[in-house]
Amino acid sequence: MAMSRVVCFGELLLRMSAPGRELLLQTPQLAVHAGGAEANVGVSLAHFGHSVQMVSTLPANPLGQYVAGELRRHGVDTAHVQTRPGRMGVYFLTTGAVQRASEVVYDRVDSAFSLGQASDYDWDTLLRGVQWLHLSGVSPALNPAMAEATLVAARAACERGVKVSFDGNFRPSLWARWEGDAPAILRELFACATVAFADYRDIGVVLGGQFEQAALAERVDAAAVQAFAAFPRLQWMACTQRTTHSVDHHALGAMLLGRDGTRAVAPTREMIGIVDRIGGGDAFAAGILHGMMQGFEPDAIVRFGLAAASLKHSIPGDFNPVSEADVLALTGEERFDVRR
């Protein structure tokens, strides 16, 4: 089947990580990776063979050049990544160990991207010939201008018949900084979405109310019913379910729910010896999108998405640079000996 043309819109970040399991600046070393929620999805889709274009703004300095270069190295088109004077958005990661949780510290206020405006992006040009636009709830949480820029992008896609993939990614601390009306803004973004990556908590924020069913799956089912009723464009809702036994041992399952009543569930995977969980949700989203773009059956789509997310937990950095063949190998017979 032909591959899709995809645009990802959002902030690009530098990740600075303490080495190994050290505390931040325990020793004067930091490992550097490029990342960002939307870019993570784009990199995965590029490795699956799709034509991916990143739309963003970077500072006109060596940090911005490094991040743009990393995207290109992974097959993502950066022709529409703008540059302007300003600073690079950064986050610092301390990886947890035993009973100590991982910790993220953001330093992204007044980044070159966050100081932009909706008028910076010409969606007539950017969406020409494109099948999918991927957005997340992180960008509109940054400030009023970026909320408007994200809404304009979503509206433009809706008007042009471009499918919208939206990851809720609710970040209450970001919204609280400027007292943004998260439910109202996210509600409009969900209304433009063809596919939403969200669970019952996201739907509770957007539509109000609580889901108090005893079982987690029942809460997701109930949230999907409300979401499909509220958002006529929405065709699919997908989410993972994570049980954290320790920093290094998680159990991860996934669900894919369709407007037509389809309900596909991927068997839970036990992940012991986790290397890096950052970007796992983005890897899941990319896997689900790839399955849809390639016409997989719902059961195969959700299994592919979960397998992609599982592989990400074994790879350092934000990106998940695995191929379709790598993921399919995990969805079939699991073999952990050396491939020869």
pLDDT tens-digit map of 215-250: 999 999 999 999 999 999 999 999 999 999 999 999
> Is 0.85 topped by the overall pTM?
yes
Instruction: Provide, rounded to the nearest whole percent, the portion of the chain with pLDDT above 90.
Output: 90
Q: Decide: helix, strand or coil at residue 60.
A: coil
The more confidently predicted of residues 268 and 2 is 268
Question: What is residue 19's DSSP assignment?
Answer: S
Whether residue 253 has pLDDT greater than 80? yes
Q: What integer pLDDT is reported at residue 48 of this predicted model?
A: 98
The type of residue at 148 is: E
Q: End-to-end alpha-carbon separation of the chain, Å?
A: 28
Q: What integer pLDDT is reported at residue 333 of this predicted model?
A: 43
Q: What integer pLDDT is reported at residue 339 of this predicted model?
A: 53
Least confident of 60-69, 230-239, 240-249, 254-263: 240-249
- Summarised one tens digit per residue, pLDDT across range 160-171 is 999 999 999 898
Mean pLDDT value of segment 68-89: 97
Whether residue 300 has pLDDT greater than 60? yes
Whether residue 149 has pLDDT greater than 60? yes
Mean pLDDT value of segment 184-205: 97
Query: Which CATH topology does 5-11+36-56+117-321 take?
Result: UDP-N-acetylmuramoyl-L-alanine:D-glutamate ligase (3.40.1190)
Print the SS3 string covering the chain. CCCCEEEEECCCEEEEECCCCCCCCCCCCCEEEEECHHHHHHHHHHHCCCEEEEEEEEECCHHHHHHHHHHHHCCCECCCEEEECCECEEEEEECCECCECCEEEEECCCECCCCCCHHHCCHHHHCCCCCEEEEECCHHHCCHHHHHHHHHHHHHHHHCCCEEEEECCCCHHHHHHHCCCHHHHHHHHHHHCCEEECCHHHHHHHHCCCCCCCCHHHHHHHHHHHHHHHCCCCCEEEEEEEEEEECCEEEEEEEEEECCCCEEEEEEEEEECCCCCCCHHHHHHHHHHHHHHCCCCHHHHHHHHHHHHHHHCCCCCCCCCCCHHHHHHHHCCCCCCCCC
Whether residue 319 has pLDDT greater than 70? yes
Q: What integer pLDDT is reported at residue 209 of this predicted model?
A: 82
Whether residue 334 has pLDDT greater than 70? no
Is the dihedral angle over the CA atoms 312, 267, 269, 104 positive or is it negative?
Answer: positive
- Would you state the structure tokens that stand for residue 81, as one six-digit string? 């990544």
Q: What integer pLDDT is reported at residue 336 of this predicted model?
A: 43
Whether residue 5 has pLDDT greater than 70? yes
Residues 148, 118 contacting (CB under 8 angstroms): yes
Whether residue 340 has pLDDT greater than 60? no
- Summarised one tens digit per residue, pLDDT across range 172-193 is 988 999 999 999 999 999 999 9
